[in-house]
Structure 1
Amino acid sequence: MKLIRVILPIAIIVLGIGAMKTVTALGDTTEENESVDTRPTVRVTQLKPESFAINIEAFGELAPLESTRLAAQVSGEVVEWNPTFVAGGIVKRGEMLFSIEKDAYTAALLQAESALANAQAALIEEKALANVAEREAATLPNSRVTDLYLRKPQILSAEAAVKAAQAQMKIAKRDLANTEVVAPYDALIVSRSIGKGDFLTVGTSAATLYNVEVGEVTFPLARFDQAFLPEALNGIEATVSLLNGTTDEIKRSATIVRDSGIYDSATRMTHLVARVNDPYGLTTQQPVLRFGAYTKVSFTGKTIDNVYRIPQELITRRQLWILDEADKLVAKPVEVVREVDSEFLIRVDIAADDRIVMTLPEYPQNGMAVKVIEGADKLVAKQP
């Protein structure tokens, strides 16, 4: 027992000393600290200037080139009307719309023809008498030969009677022709206010027609678009589109024909007019554009040169960021020429080999050091 009591403390001391040496040895082991690169990473690309044709879009309502309030030109009873002469009907140029009772006008034409025949007969008679007088005058002294003797006044009076009779006959023919009212152009019947049996007087309103041979879209143009208008507007080709509620668009060719010539006092906008031929597709079999439809007009404006196309998110505070030789950020002021979808068209003072930063740090600053990721991004040019 005494031996155990002596050995046990000695063993405990020995174990303690060993443990202390082990801890000290572990504490003396130093870890290698690796340096951490905290620079933000970016991707870069290079840009080339290009020429870009500006596409201008605006919206307006399709309206007829002209509308007519059709009225009776002669009096009489309506005896017949065209079955298509109803609201929504479409009639061709020269097609009969309705007719007025003709008997009185046929009789008036016969009377005018009779009066003309009598006047022509009287003229022939006067000319014959004048010939006789002229032959007799050859045997008479000059002092006795007068214009009255030669029947010159009578001939002038007979000729005037013939002209008056001809005028009356023209009026009678016109009135008879006006008993059949025809379409002045290919027309859409907007409204009709007469029926069979109605008695019309001169000037009685019969219907309202829209010309479907030509339609026009008058559309406003904002000031930021006005700067990109071509020098000459008339004759510029355009496209008029009608969204029909599906993925398809109805598109028709059009032509810019004029400027309204004034600015709207409230909006400071000017208005242009695009013309669409045969909007209802009667002769061209094109898709129908109805009057009153809200349409989009698009056409090509000026072409601007030496601009760069770049995503909008890369422009901050009107600045474009590039890298210098030391891979540090440098801000370049830009002029934004126009916004095109999600891109800006800009002018900026950069060289062809300048590296454009495509992925900006969260808070970019001039002189900020960055790390360039291998494999530069490429800007894919979109078709204008």
Structure 2
Amino acid sequence: MIIKSLRWLLPCLILAGAYGGYTAIASTGPETSEEEVKNTLPIVTVAPIQSSDYKVVITSHGELQPVEVTQLSAQVSGEVISWHPNFVVGGVVKRGEVLFSIESDNYQAAVLQAEAQLASAKANLIEEKAKAEVAKRQAKRLPEKQVTDLYLRKPQVLSASAQVKSAQAELKRAKRDLENCKIVAPYDALVVSRDIGVGQFITAGAHVATLNNVEAGEVHIPIAGFDSAFLPKNYAGLDARVIQRGISNVEREGKIERDLGVVDSSTRMINVVVSVADPYAIDSSAMPLKFGSYVEVQFVGKELKHIYRLPQELVNNQQVWVVNDKGELEPRKVNVLRAEKEFMLIGEGLFDDDQIVLTVPEYPQKGLLVDVNVAENVMTH
């Protein structure tokens, strides 16, 4: 009987011993602390954000071209006897410099002849006026009916006066032709082509050269539809930056002059004209910009109020992740007003002091608890 009781009691003792051992081991093992639980949460870096007013920068591209192109022609005929050393293709000449000269002997003779004709006409006028004065004194002794305009030599005086004016006009024309024997640059110019040489006979009206005005250049830049909304109401006169990208960038100051007044039928864009003073840097120490250069133009558009400026990589399908007051991830739908290079301009969906997630977990979920690492800088533009 005792043996049978021990048979049942022994397993119970073994189980009791095993439980006592487990309890002892568990009580002496490491406890799972709240800090260790927290360390298992995903770590994200956040930065507080603040809104501010922001001036939109509009960027476009175009080709620098001359404001004025002149097809130069001779105004008198004659033989070319000399030309300016810079009057060659690619040469730059200054305003008022003599580009080339035409043999002027015949035109000098024409001036002398016109001067002689004028002197003769003036002498004839003096003579007629003297005769008219004599006739006027004699008319005092004659009956009034006999005194006529012809007797007083008024027609002769008018004719002599007209001859003087005609001679003056002829002299003026002769002097102008003489002056036109020296063809001068109408402005600071780049010589694009030249069609004459020394010893060549040219006729009046013949094309001799093509000149580009280098006192100013202009760039026609297209403004896309999404940029048109950010143009100021009155943009004529705004300053602009004109940049030629390359190994070393060339940057010049420009100014918006006007738009072309029409919408391009193929692109549905407007074109704005930006002027650049002295593009070839003739009168300055700036780096020159040559006609035909493809340049970038930047200018300031409208000022937007209460805007958030975020790096593009933080905005995905118009959604931004923030960490709320509970330490949870929260997706925010935002209104993207504009993209500028690597940044997005946000108008709605965010609030000041929101904690923007800079390092989004690989599988972000709404309500996911995260451990927050706050960046030092506040995100503003």
TM-score, L = length of structure 2:
0.87
Q: Which moved more, 1:331-340 or 1:201-210?
A: 331-340
State the Cα deviation string for residues 122-175 of structure 1 (Å, max 9, x = none).
Answer: 111111111111111111111111111111111111111111111111111111
- Other-structure match for 1:370: 369
- Other-structure match for 1:52: 54
- Other-structure match for 2:150: 148
Query: Structure 1 residues 187, 58: closer, same or farther in 2, change over 3 A?
Result: same
- Other-structure match for 2:270: 270
- Other-structure match for 2:99: 97
- Other-structure match for 1:221: 223
Confirm or deny: 8 A CA contact 1:69 1:208 kept in the other structure.
yes
What one-letter code is carried by the residue in structure 2 that aligns with 1:372?
D
Residue identity (%): 49
Q: How does 1:245-284 map to 2 (within 5 A)?
A: 245-246=246-247, 248-284=248-284
Confirm or deny: 8 A CA contact 1:100 1:179 kept in the other structure.
yes
SS of 1:194's equivalent in the other structure is: coil
Distance 1:167 1:296 in 2: 54
- Other-structure match for 2:347: 347
Following superposition, the deviation at residue 85 of structure 1 comes to 1.3
Query: Structure 1 residues 186, 316: closer, same or farther in 2, change over 3 A?
Result: closer
Q: How does 1:140-289 map to 2 (within 5 A)?
A: 140-243=142-245, 245-246=246-247, 248-289=248-289
Q: Which moved more, 1:82-91 or 1:118-127?
A: 82-91
Following superposition, the deviation at residue 181 of structure 1 comes to 1.0
Following superposition, the deviation at residue 178 of structure 1 comes to 0.9
Confirm or deny: 8 A CA contact 2:73 2:208 kept in the other structure.
yes
SS of 1:209's equivalent in the other structure is: strand
Query: Structure 1 residues 279, 268: closer, same or farther in 2, change over 3 A?
Result: same
Distance 2:374 2:68 in 1: 63
What one-letter code is carried by the residue in structure 2 that aligns with 1:62?
L
Distance 1:187 1:353 in 2: 58
State the Cα deviation string for residues 273-312 of structure 1 (Å, max 9, x = none).
Answer: 1111111121123211111111111121111110111222
State the Cα deviation string for residues 71-110 of structure 1 (Å, max 9, x = none).
Answer: 1111111122222211111111111111111121111111
Following superposition, the deviation at residue 349 of structure 1 comes to 4.1
Structure 2, unaligned runs of 5 or more:
1-9
What one-letter code is carried by the residue in structure 1 that aligns with 2:227?
D
Following superposition, the deviation at residue 377 of structure 1 comes to 5.7
Distance 1:337 1:288 in 2: 37
- Other-structure match for 1:125: 127
Confirm or deny: 8 A CA contact 2:44 2:373 kept in the other structure.
no
Query: Structure 1 residues 47, 186: closer, same or farther in 2, change over 3 A?
Result: same
Following superposition, the deviation at residue 371 of structure 1 comes to 2.0
State the Cα deviation string for residues 233-291 of structure 1 (Å, max 9, x = none).
Answer: 22111121222x32x32211111111111122111121111111111121123211111
Question: RMSD in angstroms over aligned alpha carbons?
Answer: 2.6
Query: Structure 1 residues 370, 66: closer, same or farther in 2, change over 3 A?
Result: same
Distance 2:185 2:351 in 1: 67
Q: Which moved more, 1:321-330 or 1:163-172?
A: 321-330
- Other-structure match for 1:332: 332
- Other-structure match for 1:357: 357
State the Cα deviation string for residues 332-358 of structure 1 (Å, max 9, x = none).
Answer: 321111112322110224443443333
Query: Structure 1 residues 99, 353: closer, same or farther in 2, change over 3 A?
Result: closer
- Other-structure match for 1:79: 81
Structure 1, unaligned runs of 5 or more:
1-16
- Other-structure match for 1:12: none
Distance 2:96 2:313 in 1: 61
Confirm or deny: 8 A CA contact 1:332 1:348 kept in the other structure.
no
- Other-structure match for 2:303: 303
SS of 1:116's equivalent in the other structure is: helix
Distance 2:353 2:197 in 1: 81
Distance 2:116 2:319 in 1: 92
Q: Across the two proteins, how many residue pairs are aligned to each other?
A: 361
Distance 1:287 1:66 in 2: 21
Distance 1:241 1:101 in 2: 47
Confirm or deny: 8 A CA contact 2:80 2:100 kept in the other structure.
yes
Distance 1:375 1:329 in 2: 14
SS of 1:43's equivalent in the other structure is: strand
Query: Structure 1 residues 307, 78: closer, same or farther in 2, change over 3 A?
Result: same
Query: Structure 1 residues 235, 375: closer, same or farther in 2, change over 3 A?
Result: closer
What one-letter code is carried by the residue in structure 1 that aligns with 2:261?
G
TM-score, L = length of structure 1:
0.86
What one-letter code is carried by the residue in structure 1 that aligns with 2:315?
I
Confirm or deny: 8 A CA contact 2:50 2:380 kept in the other structure.
no
- Other-structure match for 1:6: none
Distance 2:134 2:275 in 1: 68
What one-letter code is carried by the residue in structure 2 that aligns with 1:234?
A
SS of 1:184's equivalent in the other structure is: coil
